[in-house]
Chain A
C-alpha cells in the first residue's frame, strides 16, 4: 500500500495559506507550510497558492530560490504540483500583468492575458462561475466555483486545457495541466463549498 503523501503549501507571504490549509485538514490530510525552498524535496505534493500581482509573486519566488527548486522537483513525475489562482498563472511563461518582472515558471507553455469579452467589461471578475472539465472522467467536478481575478489563460494548445469557463462571451481555461503531474485552477477550490472541497480531496489522493 502506498504511504500517505506529504503535502506542502508554499508560504511566500502572498497567499491565502490558511484557507488552503483548512480545506486540506477538512479532508483529513496533513499539510505543511513551506517557508524555505529546500523543504519542498521532503514533499510529494505541493500547492502554490497566491493572490496579488504576478510580478511581485514571481519576484518573491525567484528571490527565495523556489524557481530553481521547483524546476528540479517537478521532473520527478511522482511529484504533483497544484497552482491556485495566481499560483496557476505562475505555472505559465509570462503574464500581461507586468510592472517589472514578468517571468513565470514556464511549466506549461501558455501565457496569461487580461480578461476581455465583446459585450462585458466588469473587472475584476469576482464571484461564482460554471466550470466544465474537459475530460468526461472528471464530470463529477463540473459545477460552480469561486473566482476572483482580472487575468486568465486562453490556451493556444488545447492539450493544456483541464477545465473551461466563460468571462462574458469569451471562453477561457479555468483549469490547466501539462498532462503529466502539474495542475492549475484559476478559481479557488478551497472557497467553493463542498464541490471545491471534493476537488481538493481529488488532488490529495492523486
Chain B
C-alpha cells in the first residue's frame, strides 16, 4: 500500500534558496540548493520539490544547471517547476535528472505545453501546481505568480488541468503561504472531491499537527518549505510524530 509522503519544497530565486511569505521571496536563506537537497535527502524526506521563482525568464538556463547538479546526489524523487513554457525545456529538465515537472501558469496561458509534455512523458510526470487566493470571500485560482486572477474555482481548474495532462496536484493558498496557520483544508477537500489523482497540499504548515491534519483530510502528500530550513532535523521529527499517530508513512532504516 502506498504511503503518505512528506515533501520538502526548496524555493530558488536567482539560484539562491529563499523563504516564501505570501509569495514574496525577499529573504535569502544562506546556503545553496545542493546543500539543502543533500540534507533533506538524508533527513527522511520522501520527495523534493525544487521551484524556480525568479522573475526573469532568463533564469531558466541557470536553473537547468542547478537541477543537473543537485540530481547527482539526490536519491529521492525530484520534482521541478518554474518557467516551463516550452516543451523542449521540460524535456531538458527531465533528461538532466528531474523526475517530475510542476506547471502552473502554463495550464492557463499555453495549455498545449503541459499537454505535449504529457504525451511525451505520461500523466504521472505532470504535476499541476494550483495557487488559490481569496477575492471578495471567494477562493479563486491565480496564475503568473499570484498576480493574475483566472476567475476559476478549484473544481473547474482541476478538471481543466486533468484534460491537459495533469496526473497529480500541488495545491497552495497564497493567503496561507508562510503564515504558519496550517493548510487550507477546505480547498483540499474540494480538490479531492473532483479528482482521483494524488493531491499534495502546501502552504502554511508549521506545527506537527498541521501535517497530520493534511493527511487526515486525504492528501497523498504534505509539503512545507520554510519550517525545514529553520528547525534542525524538522523532517525527522515530523515523521516520528506521524508514525506515532499511526499514519502509514515511510521511516528510513
Interface residues in chain A, defined as those with a beta carbon under 8 Å from any beta carbon in chain B: 14, 16-19, 22-23, 25-26, 51-53, 56, 86, 121-130, 143-144, 146-150, 166-168, 188, 190-197
Contact = CB atoms under 8 A, between A and B. Distances in A.
Contacts of B250: 128, 144
B69 to A, nearest CB: 11
B242 to A, nearest CB: 13
B121 A127 contact: no
Interface in B1-46: 1-5, 41, 46
Interface residues of B, number: 37
Interface of B: 1-5, 41, 46, 68, 71-73, 75-77, 94-97, 99-100, 119-125, 167-168, 196-198, 220-221, 250, 252-253
Contacts of A197: 75
A59 B220 CA distance: 33
Contact of A127 (B68, B97, B220): B220
B252 A193 contact: yes
Contacts of B75: 23, 26, 190-194, 196-197
Contact of A195 (B1, B3, B5, B253): B253
15 contacts: A17-B95, A22-B71, A51-B124, A53-B119, A122-B196, A122-B197, A124-B124, A124-B168, A124-B198, A127-B46, A129-B3, A150-B123, A190-B75, A191-B75, A192-B75
A193 B41 contact: yes
A51, A167, A192 pick with most chain B CB within 10 angstroms:
A51
A93 to B, nearest CB: 20
B95 A147 contact: no
B198 A52 contact: no
Contact of A148 (B68, B73, B77): B77
Contact of A146 (B4, B68, B77, B123): B77
A90 B220 CA distance: 28
Nearest to A149: B124
Contacts of A129: 1-3
A166 B1 contact: yes
B97 to A, nearest CB: 4
A17, A53, A127, A130 pick with most chain B CB within 10 angstroms:
A127
B167 A124 contact: yes
Interface of B is mostly: loop
A125, A128, A190 pick with most chain B CB within 10 angstroms:
A128
Contacts of B198: 122, 124, 126-127
A19 B99 contact: yes
Interface of A is mostly: mixed
Contact of B197 (A124, A168, A190): A124
B220 to A, nearest CB: 7
Contacts of B94: 16, 51
Contacts of A188: 77, 99
A16, A147, A166 pick with most chain B CB within 10 angstroms:
A16
Contacts of A143: 253
A166 B68 CA distance: 33
A16 B77 CA distance: 11
A196 B41 CA distance: 13
Contacts of B196: 121-123
B77 A191 contact: yes
B124, B197, B253 pick with most chain A CB within 10 angstroms:
B124
B1 A130 contact: yes
Contacts of B72: 22, 25
Given A19-B71, A196-B75, A124 B123 contact: yes
A52 B122 contact: yes
Contact of B2 (A14, A56, A167): A167
A19 B97 contact: yes
B174 to A, nearest CB: 25
> 7 closest pairs, A vs B, by CB?
A124-B124, A18-B97, A52-B122, A127-B2, A128-B250, A144-B250, A148-B124
